[in-house]
Amino acid sequence: MLRLLMRTWLQRFRGDVAYLERMFLGRTRPEAEGAVREALALCGSERWCEGCGGSLEEDTSGPSAVGHGATRLCGRCRLQPMFHGFIRLGRYAPPLDRLVQRVKGNAWHDVAEAFGRALACAISRKLSRPPGGWIVVPIPSPPLRRLRRGIDHTGSMARAVGRELGIRCTSCLRARSSVRQASLGRSERLQRSGLVWRGRSRIPEASSVLLLDDVRTTGGTLLKARELLERHGAREVIPAVICVRD
Ligand SMILES: [Zn+2]
């Protein structure tokens, strides 16, 4: 009951903020579902490697990719796959990249949730339900950055996925570092992804985890998260991201 009241209040508050933005700043928000659908129509049609999420050539029998039954892998993942399954909605290119940036920059909760619903669709199309079911875990942003932005966008996405698929959402990871990832080089990113396990968080033993993030750049943060999740009992970890920077 309290949750329902809170949600109603939050929706009304967001509606008021949108109205004030329109009135005083002349800023209009896109209709969430439409904006996501439009961006994905332009950036989401390609095939991707199910080991690392990278885009593949149209012809998967070409030199850069090979099909193992239903699984498509790039040349690198054929030798050693980064993950055993990868869900993505598209590649990091306009207009999808700009929409993701605006979700964070303008605290567009409703668009973040629409991305979550689109991910839930992709997940249910691609993955079969494991015996114990899934749990969904978001990759967090550092607390100060979340506060400054006014949005926990991966949290919103993860909760939307949880609602759509009827699975539990657990925030068991915490972002420690305040270093901005975009300002770092590849090797630095891999070393300094500041993820730690959150206090006394628990996940069920032998869980299958859907790991939610907005953009995969090097994959360093996802790998670090998998390491932490496996150390705390996860049986398998499958990333699900909005887009991948090739
Ligand atoms: Zn790959």
Domain assignment of residue 55, given as a range = 31-244
208: β partners: 134, 236
Instruction: Using the mean position of ligand 1's atoms as its centre, give its distance from the Cα of residue 182 in Å.
Output: 22
- Centroid of ligand 1 to alpha carbon of 141 (angstroms): 25
| 16 and 72 part of one domain | no
Same domain, yes or no: 152 and 182: yes
One domain, residues 105 and 5 = no
Does residue 79 sit in the same domain as residue 21?
A: no
Are both 42 and 137 inside the same structural domain?
Answer: yes
Q: What is the pLDDT of residue 23?
A: 63
Please indicate, yes or no, whether residues 182 and 240 belong to a single structural domain of this protein: yes
The residue type of 88 is R
Q: How many CB atoms lie within 10 A of CB 207?
A: 22
The domain that holds 181 is classified in CATH as 3.40.50.2020
Same domain, residue pair 110 and 22: no
Q: How far apart are the CA of 7 and the centre of ligand 1, in A?
A: 40
* Backbone dihedral angles phi then psi of residue 240, each to the nearest 5 degrees: -135, 115
Looking at the structure, tell me whether residues 3 and 82 fall in a common domain: no
Q: Is the pLDDT of residue 127 over 50?
A: yes
The reply to whether 2 and 68 lie within a common domain is no
C-alpha–C-alpha distance, residues 125 and 128, integer Å: 8
CA of 179 to the centre of ligand 1 (A): 27
Rounded alpha-carbon distances, angstroms, from residue 158 to 167, 182, 187: 10, 23, 28
- Output the CA 89–ligand 1 centroid distance in Å: 16
Mark whether 122 and 2 lie in a shared domain.
no
Q: How far apart are CA 178 and CA 108, in angstroms?
A: 22
Tell which phi-psi region holds residue 107, choosing left (phi > 0), alpha (psi between -120 and 50) or beta: left
pLDDT at residue number 35: 95
Task: State in Å: Cα 113 to ligand 1 middle.
Answer: 28
User: 50-108 pLDDT, tens per residue?
Assistant: 999 999 976 544 444 554 445 799 999 999 999 999 999 999 999 999 999 999 999 99
Give the tens place of pLDDT for each residue, 198-242: 988 899 988 999 999 999 999 999 999 999 999 999 999 999 999
Same domain for 1 and 45, yes or no, is no
Q: To the nearest whole number, what is the mean pLDDT of the chain?
A: 86
Please give the model's pTM, rounded to 2 decimal places: 0.81
CA 210 to ligand 1 centroid distance, Å: 18
